[in-house]
Structure 1
Amino acid sequence: MDPPIPMSPQSTENNQTRNEITITEMQLNTGENQREFRLKIGDRPSIHVTVTPSATVVDQWITQTVNYDMQKLVGRLLVGLGVRWFENNHNADTLQLCVGDRCLIFQLTRADAVPLNFRSFLMDKRINFVGIHNSEHKQKLLHSRHRLEISNRVFDLRFHAKDNNGNSLQYTPAGMIKQQYLSLRANVVSLKDHHRIWSAVNLTLKQIKFACIDAYAPYRLGMCVAASEFEVDG
């Protein structure tokens, strides 16, 4: 494993201002199985968030978002990855992906099917997936309703980055890393019990914010530490 790379001073917002997050649902004629949002973190560019259990919508998202980037790619594609489940359940209820300013929240438990290109995407060796405290994600996906497999190119950024003081992030809670890196208020990266039911038909705005940050934060941090160039040991 490569030695951890310190984040540059420009890569974090270490002032005392905490960014507000706003989320707006886009009133599009997308049908009941697709919801679209604009999520804004402070003065950063908006993130386009798609929430769906639909295999058709996921197929389109992969084609439009990922395949387009792969055509321009030199090296590997970097993808932020998050997984959510209810308490001690073994199965993943949602899977979150972030590429650039686009985020997908795939409601696995509610999905009737998973498109073939999505399964191929998860196993693609040209992609580096990054997360934070993600050691359980592979098993949670494998035990999900659709038995999803993912490649071995999944990296936990705690072992590849340091804070601006040169300290390891290995033992830092995921919420604290996201909170500090994106300069967020603490309540954005924590959920109360009634917001933890990820198999719900309609996720709350609080859940959608949380799930988006779950994938967006490691994507942005991964960009800072050149995570697209990481290699698997052995």
Structure 2
Amino acid sequence: MAINIEHLVSSFDDVIYTHDVYIVSFFNDDIYTTVTHDPDTVSNWISEIERIHHRRLHRLIVGFDIKWNPSYSGHRNPVTTLHLSVGRRCLIYQLIHSPYIPDSLTNFLSDQNHTFVGVNIDSDLIKLEEDYGGFGATAVAVDLRDLAAEAYERNDLENAGLRELARGVLGKNVETPRRLTMSRWDKRWLTAEQVKYGCVDAYVSFEIDFTLNYGMDGLEL
């Protein structure tokens, strides 16, 4: 699996840390990934997306994912990070460490011209709503499993995971080590491995949707 990561910069407002920027290389694609807990940085990321994609804001596709800490009891831990990907720009927003949710993000998620795509995304949005007071409740969402099942006329794909869809639709193997899926996503400083795979999950969701809608190339699932 050809996935690499390079740290570009840590940014500060005066002496206050705001965010890190990485390049995550996924096969032949370089994804600029911003990791932050800072609401202003989130707003700036959204502004950049709207500037870059101003001609397609009426039909913007956004790869979507969330993370939370593993639970070893019946209690679900709260959502810790929100992952968004539009083209080769990714945001990992550390909700658990953010002082508040910026209006720009609430508006971005509730914009009916934006479609958020992922696996089991409806369940993820419910978790987000439960943990952050309605945040994301009105987002337009598409489950990639349903999209693939319709495209390939295979009902069994309604139960597929992101890895299976990536392999079948994109022809790319994406394997996440268990130590990462079971890692602490509430850490103040995410590791490079967490950033790498957190980015890829959202980016692959975007790429699967784009391929199914605009670039079906006959790969077999």
Interval of TM-score (by shorter of Structure 1 and Structure 2):
0.7 to 0.9
Question: Where does structure 1 lack aligned partners over 5 or more consecutive residues?
Answer: 1-18, 228-234
How far is 1:135 from its partner?
3.2
RMSD of Structure 2 on Structure 1 (CA): 2.5
Matched ranges for 1:79-90 at <5 A: 79-88=62-71, 89-90=76-77
**In structure 2, what is the Cα distance between the partners aligned to 1:75 and 1:64?**
16
Residue identity in the other structure for 1:118:
L
Question: Where does structure 2 lack aligned partners over 5 or more consecutive residues?
Answer: 215-221
Q: Decide which of 5, 10, 17 is 1:32's aligned counterpart.
A: 17
Q: Decide which of 79, 88, 106 is 1:119's aligned counterpart.
A: 106
TM-score (norm 2): 0.82
Contact residue 108 and residue 144 of structure 1 kept, 8 A? no
Residue identity in the other structure for 1:220:
E
Contact residue 109 and residue 144 of structure 1 kept, 8 A? no
Determine helix, strand or coil for the equivalent of 1:38.
strand
The answer on 1:159 being equivalent to 2:146 is: yes
Higher strand share: 2
User: Where does residue 189 of structure 2 map in the other structure?
Assistant: 202
Determine helix, strand or coil for the equivalent of 2:121.
coil
- Which is worse superposed, 167-176 or 102-111? 167-176
Identity %: 23
How far is 1:165 from its partner?
7.0
**In structure 2, what is the Cα distance between the partners aligned to 1:194 and 1:160?**
25
What count of residue pairs does the alignment treat as equivalent?
205
The answer on 1:60 being equivalent to 2:47 is: no
TM-score (norm 1): 0.78
Query: CA 1:49–1:110 in structure 2 vs 1: closer, same or farther (change >3 Å)?
Result: same
How far is 1:108 from its partner?
0.2
Contact residue 33 and residue 53 of structure 1 kept, 8 A? yes
Determine helix, strand or coil for the equivalent of 1:113.
coil
**In structure 2, what is the Cα distance between the partners aligned to 1:152 and 1:28?**
31
The answer on 1:45 being equivalent to 2:34 is: no
How far is 1:182 from its partner?
5.5
Matched ranges for 1:96-135 at <5 A: 96-135=83-122
User: Where does residue 164 of structure 2 map in the other structure?
Assistant: 176
**Bigger relative CO (Cα 8 Å, ≥ 6 apart):** 1
Query: CA 1:50–1:171 in structure 2 vs 1: closer, same or farther (change >3 Å)?
Result: same
Higher helix share: 2
Residue identity in the other structure for 2:18:
N
Contact residue 26 and residue 200 of structure 2 kept, 8 A? no
Contact residue 36 and residue 48 of structure 1 kept, 8 A? yes
